[in-house]
Chain A
Amino acid sequence: MSADLGYTADEMMAVAAARRLHDGTVCFVGIGLPSQAANLARRTHAPGCVLIYESGTIGAKPTRLPLSIGDGELAATADTVVSVPEIFAYWLQGGRIDVGFLGAAQIDRYGNLNSTVIGDYDRPKVRLPGAGGAPEIAASCRETFVMLRQSPRTFVEQLDFRSSVGYGDGPGTRERLGFTGAGVTAVVTDLGILEPDAQTKELTLTHVHPGVTADEAVAVTGWPLRVAAALGTSEPPTSSELETLRALTSTLAAVGS
């Protein structure tokens, strides 16, 4: 994406993801890009969006971006702080979360995610951190959003490891596994937005960000990416969205200096 748009691809990605969260949405937030987007939503159009972090902080209202999933700022600003067994058992498994918001190292056409290893499990080329909360977040939240920069390395034909399930091997998998949540309903990338086809559940390009063509998105996807007949174009970030996002990310830079 060219610089003359006045914003970066990552900023467009954060804004596009934030817009998917609504006032009152109860959101289980992963660290990194998802946390950035969820905090942006809360400061713009969705002040009543409830942020839950797996460290047990419910209703966190951080004044800056958290450095980790267990940042003290989350506890200090939360409605309540519960233990880690409680957050997973009562709140996530209990079916009280609207949106699970995840990142990953790899995604496939059915929205399954890998955050465990690249290469063979027993002799990995790259040992990644691991699944963390993702398997149960992807299974139990009413729906799941994923944020991931699009490249042949990340959007792959075959995952090296399935850490969490989107639509498994296609239609019917989630029902067979007894999952309560709908699965991955949006994948927001630096190029556009992918959504599952209603019948096949295959992730389909439904929006491109301004200045991006469908061909560009197809070219960097490791499977033959389908493009929606009615392909939309994301609204560019508004000046107020950009201002708020930049103020947010600057809080991270200030602490990290």
Chain B
Amino acid sequence: MAEIVSLREAVAELVHDGDVAALEGFTHLIPFAAGHEIVRQGRCDLTLIRMTPDLVYDQLIGMGCARKLVFSWGGNPGVGSLHRFRDAVEHGWPAPLEVEEHSHAGMAAAWAAGAANLPFGVLRGYTGTDLERYTTATTITCPFTGEVLAAVRAHRPDVGIVHAQRADLAGNVQLWGIVGVQKEVVLASARSIVTVEEVVDELEPRPGAVVLPTWAVTAVAPAPRGAHPAYAHDYYDRDNDFYVAWDPISRDRDTFRAWMERHVLGTADVDEYHRSLSAAKTEAAA
């Protein structure tokens, strides 16, 4: 049964230095608040998995939390580069970052295999690309047809973290809209944290929604507006200005560090983070 705890407690208890950790979200329901809490608690040496590492991974990498990144597309969606990620790969700042690179289809197969408790996933993929030389994917021959297929090691993180719209008092989780690999991450991980917009008495059934029963989740932590600047379908839209503003903030090491110190290290939780951003906006307008 999932325990409903504060995000601070969840991260303190379930995320350890050196863990293989996945904070997933396919442009939707990205667990920013949880990423920020990991930075606050100074976790390091993490192997981070994510199909589409974006700003929250840029922040974790730039703050020195990561040792390795396993991914398939790393950018600021709709804007451009992730400058902290690039600085780590191109110049080893603040620390060298090992990368293990895949295609989306390969990552998706690795998540599905992890959720299914299989050692590897199988797909037609990577063939003929240079990725074949640089990734951990390999090939396997179909025992029935002889076809040579790609095999990817299953993702089995120590801890998987996703954001969702809501949970009930018993810790059952409900999410909808673009569901990405949220379900697979929770089921593939040894421990899981789901941050939610709200905890309600009872979940109303919704067509097409994914439900994660409480007994499949380790901890549920309330984090209203915890996906900001990403969006939570039917709760709030993507803060596109933030994605655009992140480009100059993250371009420079000192500007980045100052931003993180003020809005993440200098705040206690997601509510304070939002107050801090509002204050900065008011200052800029004055």
B235 CB → nearest A CB, Å: 10
Contact A178 B147 (CB under 8 A): yes
Contact A135 B75 (CB under 8 A): no
Q: In the assembly, what is the distance between CA of A76 and CA of B234, in Å?
A: 10
- Tell me the dominant secondary structure on chain B's binding face: loop
Of the stretches A123-131, A189-197, A208-216, A219-227, the one at the interface is: A123-131
Contact B180 A70 (CB under 8 A): yes
Contact A88 B104 (CB under 8 A): yes
Contact A130 B178 (CB under 8 A): no
Contact B238 A139 (CB under 8 A): no
Instruction: Confirm or deny: B118 has a beta carbon within 8 angstroms of a beta carbon on chain A.
Output: no
CB proximity to A under 8 Å, residues B123-154: 123-131, 134, 147-148
A55 with B89: in contact, given A72-B28, A129-B74 (CB under 8 Å)? no
Instruction: Confirm or deny: B221 has a beta carbon within 8 angstroms of a beta carbon on chain A.
Output: no
Instruction: Confirm or deny: B205 has a beta carbon within 8 angstroms of a beta carbon on chain A.
Output: no
Contact B233 A71 (CB under 8 A): no
For B103, the chain A residues whose CB sits under 8 A away are: 131-136
For B177, the chain A residues whose CB sits under 8 A away are: 72, 75-76, 81
Q: Mark A111-155, 1 if CB is under 8 A from B, else 0.
A: 000001000010111111111111110011000000000000000
Considering the complex, give the chain B residue whose CB is closest to the CB of A95.
B124
Contact A83 B123 (CB under 8 A): no
Contact B208 A81 (CB under 8 A): yes
A255 with B105: in contact, given A130-B73, A162-B128, A177-B128 (CB under 8 Å)? no
Q: Mark B58-90, 1 if CB is under 8 A from A, else 0.
A: 000000000000011111011001100110011
For B72, the chain A residues whose CB sits under 8 A away are: 130-132
Considering the complex, give the chain A residue whose CB is closest to the CB of B210.
A83
Contact A121 B128 (CB under 8 A): no
A136 with B104: in contact, given A67-B238, A163-B130 (CB under 8 Å)? yes
Instruction: Confirm or deny: A59 has a beta carbon within 8 angstroms of a beta carbon on chain B.
Output: no
Instruction: Confirm or deny: B109 has a beta carbon within 8 angstroms of a beta carbon on chain A.
Output: yes
Contact B104 A133 (CB under 8 A): yes
Q: In the assembly, what is the distance between CA of A178 and CA of B74, in Å?
A: 29
For A71, the chain B residues whose CB sits under 8 A away are: 27, 238
Instruction: Confirm or deny: B26 has a beta carbon within 8 angstroms of a beta carbon on chain A.
Output: yes
A31 with B104: in contact, given A83-B179, A165-B128, A173-B128 (CB under 8 Å)? no
For B179, the chain A residues whose CB sits under 8 A away are: 56, 81, 83-84
Contact A255 B240 (CB under 8 A): yes
Residues of B within 8 A of A (CB): 26-28, 51-52, 71-75, 77-78, 81-82, 85-86, 89-90, 101-105, 108-109, 111-112, 123-131, 134, 147-148, 177-181, 183-184, 208, 231, 233, 237-238, 240-241, 243-244
Give me 17 other A-B pairs in contact (C-beta within 8 A), A93-B125, A130-B72 excluded: A67-B238, A69-B26, A72-B233, A72-B238, A76-B233, A81-B177, A81-B179, A84-B26, A84-B104, A84-B108, A124-B89, A131-B72, A133-B73, A135-B131, A162-B128, A165-B129, A168-B128
